Amino acid sequence: MVKFQTGPLFDQTWQSRSRNNASLKNKLAQFLQVKSQDPTANFGASDKPFKSQGFFTMAIPKIKHAHLTHDLSLVYVLEGGADPVIRLYGVFSHDDLGTGTPPNINRQRSMAAQLARQTFGQELGSQNTNKQAGPTPKSAK
């Protein structure tokens, strides 16, 4: 059974991005459903690791991102084998991450450090995150 964990940055970015945005909430529900069935399955063509020599991968080796919209990506890490855990770091735009056009190297460095400092422990759908984080697939409970 796949577990989804969140931290304060996910809660903060999800609340601000998903307010009055049913389409984004639906996309997160789809992501959770796909990953609940097979945590290694890609959520569309844009579900991939950051560049191998970039700041994000140097700070968090297994970090990935999956587009929920054209400009918003869910940043996450898949860990574990038999008991997989997906840590949700947050929902960010290209500009937030410094990966827009043109790339902002200082923002990439800063965001990589901020993401690396995140702590996890709340499971998505738990009493503390239930109202903030959005939908929870049945298999993730």
pLDDT band at 125; cut points 50, 70, 90: low
pLDDT of residue 68: 97
Identify the domain containing residue 110 by its residue range.
3-140
3-6 vs 85-93, strand pairing mode? parallel
Question: 87 has which bridge partners?
Answer: 5, 77
Position 129 pLDDT exceeds 90: no
**What are the pLDDT digits (tens) for 84-105?**
999 999 999 999 999 999 999 9
**What are the pLDDT digits (tens) for 7-41?**
999 999 999 999 999 999 999 999 999 999 999 99
Cα–Cα nearest to 32, from 58, 68, 72: 68
pLDDT band at 126; cut points 50, 70, 90: low
- CATH at 41: 3.30.2310.20
Total count of domains within the chain: 1
**What are the pLDDT digits (tens) for 34-64?**
999 999 999 999 999 998 779 999 999 999 9
